[in-house]
Amino acid sequence: MATPAAKRPPRLNLRRPDVMKEVHAQVVTHYRSRIVDYLRANGNTIVAKDHLTIHLAKEFGFCYGVERAIDLAYAARKVFPKEQRILLLGEIIHNPDVNDQLKSMGIEPLESRPTEAELAQLTPKDVVIIPAFGTEVATRKVIEEIGCTIVDTTCGDVMSVWKRVRQYSRDKVTSIIHGKSWHEETMATSSQASATSGHYLVVLTLEDVDFLCTYITDGGCLLYTS
């Protein structure tokens, strides 16, 4: 007889005004720089001694999706009791300073693709944070079945791609994904196709693209040695 799935915990609103006020104050302390603020206030440029000119990149800093992910991770630590375990799948973003800061706040890291042994350590009392890259369908399903509270910080742009990939699967169209096949975001995206019996290809280099285009236009089986 199959074991009934654990009851999902109620959805929580972590972005309450009172919580986010504290979170923003903390984030500013951790990630804002007076030098950067000065540069931005002076046209992103400063001239130092000995004719040294420093230019700040126009798009310097975190994008909206990353800011949201960090905010939610900080909010989770404020909302849930200190004695309640909060675990993070992989890295919230690929920034060592941010991830080290979360560790110092008591947020424990898990592998982005947890092993069976790691998943066996989870309990319904645990909180699991899904990073901005998202996670694979199978991983999320197991965490949900365990009954963990999920804090999903997946970027909205990533989820938009997932929606397109799922639609392609329903239409029997193969999704072509540009990225590193071993990267969390690529694995999460490709899992959206395979979970619905769809097909996908991952290309990384221009050579990959050339090979694929040749196959599409000329057909047949070509030898690829890259």
Tell me: do 24 and 54 sit in the same domain: yes
> What is the full DSSP assignment across 154-202?
--HHHHHHHHHHHHHHHTT--EEEES-TTSHHHHHHHHHHHTTT--EEE
Q: State the CATH number of the domain containing residue 176.
A: 3.40.1010.20
Number of domains in the chain: 2
Last residue of a domain, one of 114, 131, 154: 154
Q: Is residue 6 part of a domain?
A: no
In 3D space, the residue among 80, 93, 96 whose CA is nearest the CA of residue 150 turns out to be 80
The residues pairing with 130 across neighbouring beta strands, listed in sequence order, are: 152
Is pLDDT above 70 for 48?
Answer: yes
pTM of the model: 0.82
Which residues does 123 contact at the CB level (< 8 Å), separation at least 6?
A: 146, 147, 148
Lowest mean pLDDT among 23-37, 114-128, 193-207: 23-37
Q: State the CATH number of the domain containing residue 104.
A: 3.40.50.11270
- More confident site: 221 or 95: 95
Band of the pLDDT at 11, cuts 50, 70, 90? low
20 within 8 A of 87, measured Cβ to Cβ: no
Last residue of a domain, one of 154, 181, 201: 154
pLDDT score recorded for residue 10: 59
Last residue of a domain, one of 105, 128, 154: 154
Tell me: do 92 and 65 sit in the same domain: yes
**pLDDT, tens digit, 9 for 90 and up, residues 91-115:** 998 889 999 999 999 999 999 899 9
Is pLDDT above 70 for 178?
Answer: yes
Lowest mean pLDDT among 55-59, 66-70, 76-80, 150-154: 55-59
Q: Catalytic residue among 59, 118, 184, 185, which?
A: 185
Is 185 an annotated catalytic residue? yes
The residue range of the domain holding 51 is 17-154
What mean pLDDT comes out for the span 43-61? 85
Please report, rounded to a whole number, the percentage of residues in the chain having pLDDT higher than 70.
92
